[in-house]
């Protein structure tokens, strides 16, 4: 029994090492430029070990992309509009040095090579933001007539564009500021004044300090 537990733990560690190595290689080289030999070497493992856990680099890329929302957990308990703000700010700060999120940002333009339409990261993030905005609507934080689904798509589109331009111009160092700027532009049009007044921004919303 103990031996089985040790083997399971070892398998989990090996899988995690491969995903991290793949993320680093994808972030550096993109999907087309990455190869499984480089990923195995970065992980310090054999190709056999890689193929035991993943069929190909497409499966690695797909798992990294699908894991993105689960990696972003705001440190402060909150609901509705504040949670939507906190998720995007947490993502923006974590993206600065999290290899899995960096890989997701690099892979966003190559997803047709390894993920179907229902698995792409844009739809994942849109569903996540939509849930928060529906909660905000129930809490009467949004103005009457706001199209929640359209707003969720707009927020995700704006964040995607912000990270792309931020990468080109500052290596993403100003991404958190761009995300906050996006919200401050949107909020007067979509939220009631009392909700806007109560929202909190800044690094503390993402880092819990």
| Residue 159 · residue 179 · CB < 8 Å | yes
pLDDT of residue 165: 94
Distance of CA 182 to the CA centre of its chain: 17
Dump pLDDT digits (tens) for 17-57. 999 999 999 999 999 999 999 999 999 999 999 999 999 99
Q: Tokens for 16?
A: 């995690």
Share of the chain above pLDDT 70, in %: 95
Q: Which residue has the tokens 């398998």?
A: 11
Dump pLDDT digits (tens) for 103-122. 999 998 888 888 777 667 88
Distance of CA 194 to the CA centre of its chain: 29
Judged on CB neighbours under 10 Å (0-12, 13-18, 19+), 173 is exposed
The segments of the chain whose pLDDT lies below 50 read none
Structural domains in the chain, sorted by start: 2-65 (1.10.10.60), 68-207 (1.10.357.10)
pTM exceeds 0.75 for this model: yes
| Residue 206 · residue 176 · CB < 8 Å | yes
């Amino acid at each position: 029994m103990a031996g089985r537990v040790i083997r399971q733990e070892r398998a989990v560690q090996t899988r995690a090492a491969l995903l991290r190595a793949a993320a680093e290689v994808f972030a550096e080289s993109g999907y087309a430029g990455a190869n499984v030999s480089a990923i195995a070497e970065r992980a310090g493992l054999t190709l056999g070990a890689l193929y035991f856990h993943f069929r190909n680099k497409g499966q690695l890329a797909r798992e990294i992309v699908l894991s993105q929302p689960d990696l972003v957990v705001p440190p402060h308990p909150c609901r509705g509009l504040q949670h939507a703000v906190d998720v995007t700010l947490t993502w923006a700060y974590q993206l600065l040095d999290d290899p899995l999120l960096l890989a997701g940002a690099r892979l966003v333009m190559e997803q047709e090579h390894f993920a179907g339409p229902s698995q792409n990261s844009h739809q994942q993030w849109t569903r996540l933001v939509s849930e928060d905005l529906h909660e905000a609507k129930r809490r009467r934080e949004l103005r009457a007539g706001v199209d929640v689904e359209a707003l969720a798509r707009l927020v995700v589109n704006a964040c995607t564009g912000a990270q792309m331009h931020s990468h080109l111009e500052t290596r993403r160092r100003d991404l958190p500021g761009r995300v906050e700027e996006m919200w401050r532009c949107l909020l007067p049009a979509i939220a009631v004044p009392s909700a806007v007044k109560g929202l909190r921004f800044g690094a503390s919303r993402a880092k819990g300090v």
